[in-house]
Amino acid sequence: MDAEINPRKNLIGLDRDELASELAAIGEKPFRAKQLWHWMYYHGVTDFDAMTTIAKAARPLLKELFCTERPDISRLETSEDGTRKWLLKFDDANEAETVYIPETDRGALCISSQVGCTLNCSFCHTGTQKLVRNLTASEIVGQMMVARDSYGEWPLGKDVPKSERMISNIVMMGMGEPLYNFDNVKKALKIIMDPEGISLSKRRITLSTSGVVPMMQRCGEEIGVNLAVSLHACNDELRDQLVPINRKYPLKELLEACRQYPGANNANRITFEYAMLKGVNDSDADARELIRLVRGLPVKFNLIPFNPWPGTRFENSDPKQAKRFSGILNKGGLSAPIRVPRGRDIMAACGQLKSDSERQRRQKTGLSA
């Protein structure tokens, strides 16, 4: 069944100026926008009647015109390792996935930026789903709101002290290429970082790009978050095959953009993500070539065991070889831990997300479900 159309305007995802002008348009003073911001993003309150500092007389009109709606939860799955995956449904019935990965020291929320992806990295499940559309700022912030609601991490909820909250970090590593949806991602992250709301520090946010070189500088300057780059290969020939955006922005340009990334230095390094693909990019020679390639750059490696999905032609590297590979990088002075796969049993690990269910595909192609 299609979601009911909500006639009220959703305030989630508006920046401060937009919120103030919405309220000015109904004759409210700027302080009302400040109050609302605090209720929405500091307390996570959705009911205008629970916003006790807002004059009772002002509430009926607010309720009539506005809402603070989150995306609907189509499905929630929990892995045996505690990883949680939400399939979220937006107003137009499109869906995207959000994943929470618990760590020993709290955990990270993996947020999507698009429904599907225009790029088709050959080892990525998301890449097999066509891009449907960019997510709006509201839908990106909405993923954080859903996760926080779910863990009761608002001060008026279970009153979990900030230092003990489960969601301590955000990784823009879900479905889609965040730098192809720059404006909405920037707007959403600014809302999430705003000190009078959710107030997550930029140091706790990492954005992963497949290598959209022309947007990297702006990402550092205008958003200021940590950067991760999906490298996956030590030469252009192989990277052209694995990460096809390389044909547009080859390694030389990508590495130069990394060298110039604002805020990157030896104390705050860019992460190079490297999926370990058996017999494809995991030889000793590949590791040595990588050391040569990144010499002098403020980077560290994150070796990701390949996460399988139905129909893929790739296999994960032999664990012994992955260890050797990591050891060679270490000897070359590079940090290169092998990541422990999380949430594989619910298809929630890196590169496994996909939201065009069989049912949706059938609907699109006119077949009966």
Active site residues: 97, 350
- The answer to whether the CB of 140 falls within 8 A of the CB of 188 is yes
109 contacts ligand SAH (rule: CB under 6 A): no
Give whichever of 32 and 354 is closer to ligand SAH, judged by the CB atom. Answer: 354
348 contacts ligand SF4 (rule: CB under 6 A): no
Smallest distance from ligand SF4 to CB 364, Å: 20
* Rounded-to-integer distance, Cα 289 and Cα 291, Å: 5
99 contacts ligand SAH (rule: CB under 6 A): no
- Residue numbers 228-267 binding ligand SF4 by CB under 6 A: 230
* Rounded-to-integer distance, Cα 30 and Cα 34, Å: 7
Smallest distance from ligand SF4 to CB 243, Å: 6
135 contacts ligand SF4 (rule: CB under 6 A): no
37 contacts ligand SAH (rule: CB under 6 A): no
Position closest to ligand SF4 via CB = 127
Structure tokens at 252: 């030389």
b or e along 331-362 (b: 16 or more beta carbons within 10 Å of the residue's beta carbon)? eeebebebeebbbbebbbbbbbbbbbeeebee
- The answer to whether the CB of 133 falls within 8 A of the CB of 114 is yes
143 contacts ligand SAH (rule: CB under 6 A): no
Q: Out of 14, 117, 185, 346, name the contact with ligand SF4 by CB under 6 A.
A: 117
100 contacts ligand SAH (rule: CB under 6 A): no
* Rounded-to-integer distance, Cα 309 and Cα 231, Å: 20
- The answer to whether the CB of 112 falls within 8 A of the CB of 98 is yes
Smallest distance from ligand SF4 to CB 251, Å: 16
- Residue numbers 212-231 binding ligand SF4 by CB under 6 A: 230
Q: The dihedral of CA 271, 278, 332, 328: what is its sign?
A: positive
- Crossing angle between the packed helical segments 30-37 and 16-24, to the nearest 10 degrees: 130
DSSP for 135-165? PPHHHHHHHHHHHHHHHT-STTTT---GGG-
* Rounded-to-integer distance, Cα 36 and Cα 46, Å: 10
Residue 44 binding result from ligand SAH, ligand SF4, none, given CB thresholds of 5 to 8 Å by partner type: none
Residue 262 has phi, psi (to 5 degrees) of -60, 130
Q: Out of 94, 129, 169, 210, name the contact with ligand SAH by CB under 6 A.
A: 210
* Rounded-to-integer distance, Cα 95 and Cα 100, Å: 17
* Rounded-to-integer distance, Cα 248 and Cα 305, Å: 26
∠ CA 116-117-121, rounded to 5°: 125
177 contacts ligand SAH (rule: CB under 6 A): yes
Smallest distance from ligand SAH to CB 131, Å: 11
Q: Out of 68, 138, 230, 271, name the contact with ligand SAH by CB under 6 A.
A: 230
- Residue numbers 342-361 binding ligand SAH by CB under 6 A: 350-351
Which of the stretches 54-62, 112-120, 246-254, 331-339 binds ligand SF4 when contact is defined by CB under 6 A? 112-120
Could you tell me how many residues of this chain bind ligand SF4 (CB under 6 A)? Answer: 12
Residue 28 has phi, psi (to 5 degrees) of -90, 150
Q: Out of 138, 184, 210, 317, name the contact with ligand SF4 by CB under 6 A.
A: 210
97 contacts ligand SAH (rule: CB under 6 A): no
b or e along 204-217 (b: 16 or more beta carbons within 10 Å of the residue's beta carbon)? bbbbbbbbbbebbe
Smallest distance from ligand SF4 to CB 361, Å: 18
Give whichever of 134 and 208 is closer to ligand SAH, judged by the CB atom. Answer: 208
Smallest distance from ligand SAH to CB 369, Å: 28
Smallest distance from ligand SF4 to CB 45, Å: 34
* CA–CA distances in Å: residue 349 to residues 119, 234, 277, 308, 356: 19, 24, 15, 9, 17
User: Which residues sit at the interface with ligand SAH, rule CB under 6 A?
Assistant: 121, 123-124, 173, 176-177, 208-210, 230, 273, 275, 304, 306-307, 350-351
Please give the residue ranges that form the binding site for ligand SF4 (CB under 6 A): 117, 119-121, 124, 126-127, 176-177, 210, 230, 351
